[in-house]
Every structure is written in C-alpha cells, then in structure tokens.
Structure 1
C-alpha cells in the first residue's frame, strides 16, 4: 500500500513534469492555478475526505481549476525554467493553459464531442489535441481566432450561437490540462494527446460544422 505522504508527492511531481513539458515541448504558455485541499472527514464520521478549493470560497464554481490571482494573464509563461520555478513554489497547483495565444479551444458536451470526433476521423479532417474533463466536456484545440470567427460561422450554418451548447475559449480565458484534478469529479485527460503529428492545429472553419451538427442533435 502506498504511504499516505507518497501519493501527494507523486501527484505533485506529475503536475510539475507535465507543466514543464507543455512549455518546452509544445511551446504553450502555462499558468499555475488554484488547487484542491483535502479536508478531514466530519468529526465522529468515517468516509472519504472532502476536497475544497484553495481559494477558500465555499461555493467556488470551479474547484481547483481557476487562476489563483487577479493578475494571472501576466503570470503565464512558456519558459520551461520559469514554469519549473512556479511549481516548485506551489507543487499542488493545477495546470491551466491560457487560450487566445498559441491556440483557442472549442468546448462542447462529451456526447456531442464523441459524435463529432468520430465523424471528423471518418472525413480525415486535421485534428489537434482534444481534452476530456470530469464535467463530461470535450475541448478541441484550434488556431487562435476561433472566438472571433465562430459566431458568424455558426450563423452561416443556420445556427444561432446562443442555441448551441458550444463554448469558444479565446483571449482572456483558459482550459485545465492533464493531470489536473477537478473537484470530486476526477482528472482531466487527453482524448487525443499532443504529438508531433498534431502540432499544426486546424482552423475553426475545418471543425465548426461537425461540432455544431453534433451539438444540434443533442438539443
């Protein structure tokens, strides 16, 4: 059985290695975010400990997966040495990837994402990395500019942007990256890992149609 102190150390080491890898191998800007704190079980009761967000806000909408401070935009870095120093200062920090820089992200429900992904693969469309979150969302990485393009592209396809559960994350936003843990739901994972083959990201125009169609079917 793993020693109770060893598990947090192992997870912290995984977070540091992953954060440095994103900066050095993908040249992505990386940001340390809030993290989960394991509270003791209520007095007199057994059972698992209840994780809470390090921000201290009991009603935190994104426990363990949001920037830790208001000046986060200037704190993100793509320098591997700087990223290493960030995680050595706070090893449990979640890994956040700011969007609107080297990539934007299109965030859809998991069911729609799986349907769209299967269709894209059959069509042999170019695909970048794809995230899966414990909140049952899938996040497709695309070239920067998606946030500005998507509303007009959706209208051309006959969809009102507000009618679809399709969120485009661009400048001023972020996505959590593996192996970040979110609340009590589990760990962010790669559906399609970053590789040398998907280093060149698709443009929004190439993916928006199958994503919109899949989201529309799920309404």
Structure 2
C-alpha cells in the first residue's frame, strides 16, 4: 500500500484569510488596534456595504473608529469567513508618517548606516511605492514636511494597510518588521529630522497625491 504525502488542497482565498487573521492576531496581541478593510475584488475593493462608492482600499466597517480592537475573539470573528484587508489604526499606540519610496529608502538607509537605534522602528511598504514609518503618536509634521503633498501623517482618525494585505499594485509588506524593531517606536521628531535631512538628497519627481487621501483624513 502506498501512502500519499500530498497535503490537502487549501483554496488561495482561504490561505489569504488565514494569513491575514494570523497577522492581525499578532499585532493585536501587542496592543496595536486593527480593523478589517475592504477585500480586493478584481480592480476594486469591496466592503460589502450596499451602494458604497469607494473603490480604493478603505475600512470595511462604517463605525471602524469605534470598533477597532485588540481583542483576540473579535479579531478571529472578523477574519473567520472573509479575507478582509488588514488595517492598522493610527493615532492610538502610534502614528505613521507616509512618504514616497525615494525618501523612505534614504531615511531607512540613514538609520542603518548611522546605527541610529533611537530612530529604528517598524516600517511598512506598499507596492505602489509608499513607505510608512511608525512613530510615537501625537507630534505634528515639521513645516518642511507638512507642505508636501507626498508626505502624510496618519494620526487619530486614520489607518494604514499592513502585510499581508493585497493592494491593486501588489501585496503590502514590512521593510522593518515589528519584531526586528523589538516592537519599539522611535520619537516622531527623530524620524522627521532624518526625513528633513534626506530631502536635499532625493531627486524630485512630479508629486502625486497618495490614493488613501481620498478616503482617510490627513492626521493632524
């Protein structure tokens, strides 16, 4: 008798859901509030709400600010049946400073080259070329950054997509995982200083407004 070593087939959608749920539980276990986002369906995001006009990534729940949670039972329930995108809620445990890829690469390189432990923290990246640096919450953007349309501070009332969420351009990922940063958050002023210093070394391109600005408030 020949035994088969082939593993049971798991549909890709189910695998996505399991990965998203696992990631959401890991983040929630460290006190980082999450909320389900609309799931990618073809060339648009579907939140399941009848008549919703938003086609870009957005929260799946209308009352997401009030219901965002770190409770494992609630997180499991959200991702029990649907492969919702995974959204990290900002303005509570951390803010996120979102910048274009050219600036993000310079800043991350400066952190690693100078071994700036005080500036090291988690960094998320989307396939569209948007880098989000997680920092301690509450500090507004410096004037050098605030006037730029391609730099966004996500504070209270905002969110960012987290890995392994699928975006139109490809999956979100971590450039620096929370584990690599030991779940520590750098001061916003420290990271913003590195960003300001890097501005003069980045070749300017035509500015484009980040897609999320159409569905989330600029943290301020």
Q: TM-score, normalised by structure 1?
A: 0.80
Looking at structure 2, the residues matched to 91 and 59 of structure 1 have their Cα atoms a distance apart, in angstroms, of 20
Looking at structure 2, the residues matched to 83 and 160 of structure 1 have their Cα atoms a distance apart, in angstroms, of 35
Looking at structure 2, the residues matched to 30 and 78 of structure 1 have their Cα atoms a distance apart, in angstroms, of 7
8 Å contact kept, 2:145–2:151: no
Unaligned runs of 5+ in 1: 38-49
- The equivalent position to 2:112 in structure 1, one of 93, 114, 121, is 121
Q: Which residue of 2 aligns with 1:134?
A: 127
Q: Which residue of 2 aligns with 1:28?
A: 32
1:170 aligns with 2:155: yes
8 Å contact kept, 2:44–2:55: no
Q: Which residue of 2 aligns with 1:212?
A: 196
Q: 1:206 to 1:198 in 2, by over 3 A?
A: farther
8 Å contact kept, 1:132–1:189: yes
More helix as a share of residues: 1
Looking at structure 2, the residues matched to 139 and 209 of structure 1 have their Cα atoms a distance apart, in angstroms, of 15
- The equivalent position to 2:78 in structure 1, one of 86, 90, 98, is 86
- The equivalent position to 2:23 in structure 1, one of 15, 18, 21, is 18
Looking at structure 1, the residues matched to 145 and 45 of structure 2 have their Cα atoms a distance apart, in angstroms, of 35
Q: 1:53 to 1:165 in 2, by over 3 A?
A: closer
1:202 aligns with 2:186: yes
Q: 1:98 to 1:180 in 2, by over 3 A?
A: same
Unaligned runs of 5+ in 2: 1-6, 205-220
- The equivalent position to 2:11 in structure 1, one of 6, 21, 34, is 6
Q: Which residue of 1 aligns with 2:166?
A: 181
1:101 aligns with 2:92: yes
Q: 1:86 to 1:123 in 2, by over 3 A?
A: same
8 Å contact kept, 2:122–2:181: no
Q: Is 160-169 or 124-133 further displaced after alignment?
A: 160-169
